[in-house]
Amino acid sequence: MRAPEPPDQAMRDDMGEIELPSWIPGADQGTSSDSDDVGELADEAGEVAVEPRFPAPAVIGPAPSFGPFLGPLPETPAATAGLAVPDTVLDGAELPGLTIRGASLRGDDHHARQEVRQDSMGMWQVSDGETAAILVCAADGVGSQPLSHLGAAHACAALRKRIGRAVTELFRAAADGSLDEICEHVVGDVGRAIDEVARQEGAEPKALSTTLAAALVEAAPSGEDGRRYVILNVGDATAFVLRDGEFRPCLADTHDAAAPIASTGTWALPASVGAVGTAAGMIGPRDMLMVCTDGMSNPMLNREVREQLARWWGGGAVPGLAEFGWQLSYRVRTFSDDRTAVCVWGRGQ
């Protein structure tokens, strides 16, 4: 069944080309191709050794009309109130049978406009005393709302607190067919937590609008097929499984890779939730499960992007933190939103 059209009040950033100030390095020079540049380091004997520089972000398909840049520090009201929002966040973990990598990157839109990164992410070990699991999530603050970066961060934090009390309940619900109902209760509690943050900030709840996607993965395998997982989402944040070299959408309303992006609107917490998406399955010892924002899933409509990500992430080796962050910084023409992905690789039992 096709989801209803999302409300107009939760509109996304325009994904068109960006006009850069002339003083931005590389603004009139196209995309950098200096990945083969080298630097020089002198050893103790004075001999000069050639050391390769870290490569520029990979360009997939037609190159953007400008090179990678950071721009000045954000100066919007959101950037000057409260805690600083880092341009980039990297995180990861190595657990028995599982490897996790996550990155959240500020997009070129926000670099050019001196706006903060509105995406957020999280990864935690959670347990209700009966079942232990790993919770990963990605949230995308709605671009038109002034405090959406707070909504995204608090959505992740509130979800962790709420799911920590319901790990066993969620896995049982996936087995008995009540997952939709349980996830609606969970999302309702998260929405109320964001409402309370809005009250403390003296803002309307809509100002903190955010999407959310999360996956709960068993810490220990429940059988030979691997570990059970459950997924929930609100809005266009979504999830995929990478299996046998192919990204497979976990949620029914994930973009069709053959279709254009039809709308820039989305359902969002806390005021315009719409239907809560749910899914359940198994992650095997050679699979990867990813939750991400639309800054990741929209470029994946491009076949070249999907194939490159599958080559990076579908082999036997898992990237280190810095390498994962570099991979996620790939550049594609017309896609300049914040980009966040948290990936969980199965690594044997």
Burial class of residue 179, CB neighbours in 10 A (0-12, 13-18, 19+)? buried
pLDDT score at 328: 97
- Indicate the average pLDDT of the chain: 85
Name the pLDDT band for 334 (thresholds 50, 70, 90). Answer: confident
pLDDT score at 14: 42
pLDDT score at 30: 43
Over residues 258-301, the pLDDT tens digits come to 434 434 578 999 999 999 999 999 999 999 999 999 999 999 99
pLDDT score at 36: 44
Please report, for residues 69, 170, 233, 302, 316, the alpha-carbon distance to residue 128 in angstroms, rounded to integers and kept in the order given.
44, 11, 22, 40, 33
Q: Are 163 and 216 in contact (CB under 8 A)?
A: yes
Q: Assess whether pLDDT exceeds 80 at residue 86.
A: yes
pLDDT score at 194: 98
pLDDT score at 232: 98
pLDDT score at 139: 98
Ordered DSSP codes for 6-59: PPTTSBPPP-S--PPPTTSTTTTT-S---TT-EEEEE-TTS-EEEEEPPPPPPB
User: Which of 51-55, 112-116, 202-206 shows the lowest mean pLDDT across its residues?
Assistant: 51-55
Please report, for residues 29, 114, 116, the alpha-carbon distance to residue 72 in angstroms, rounded to integers and kept in the order given.
19, 7, 11
Average pLDDT over residues 47-75: 79
Strand pairing of 288-292 and 88-95?
A: unpaired
**CA 100 – CA 250 distance, rounded (Å):** 18
Q: Assess whether pLDDT exceeds 90 at residue 329.
A: yes
Which pair of tokens denotes residue 251?
């949620």
- Triad 249, 323, 150: Cα angle to 5°: 65
Question: From the CB of residue 120, how many other CB atoms can be counted at a distance below 10 Å?
Answer: 28
**CA 323 – CA 328 distance, rounded (Å):** 9
**CA 215 – CA 246 distance, rounded (Å):** 19
Q: Assess whether pLDDT exceeds 80 at residue 255.
A: no
Q: Assess whether pLDDT exceeds 60 at residue 38.
A: no
Please report, for residues 149, 264, 265, 325, the alpha-carbon distance to residue 109 in angstroms, rounded to integers and kept in the order given.
15, 15, 17, 19
List domains and CATH numbers for the chain. Answer: 59-346 (3.60.40.10)
Average pLDDT over residues 131-150: 95
Over residues 152-188, the pLDDT tens digits come to 999 999 999 999 999 999 999 999 999 999 999 999 9
Q: Assess whether pLDDT exceeds 90 at residue 203.
A: yes
Q: Assess whether pLDDT exceeds 80 at residue 27.
A: no
Q: Assess whether pLDDT exceeds 70 at residue 141.
A: yes
pLDDT score at 51: 66
Name the pLDDT band for 333 (thresholds 50, 70, 90). Answer: confident
Q: Are 163 and 186 in contact (CB under 8 A)?
A: yes
Q: Where are the alpha helices (DSSP H) in the chain?
A: 77-80, 108-113, 148-163, 167-176, 179-201, 294-297, 303-313, 321-328
Which pair of tokens denotes residue 272?
């315009």
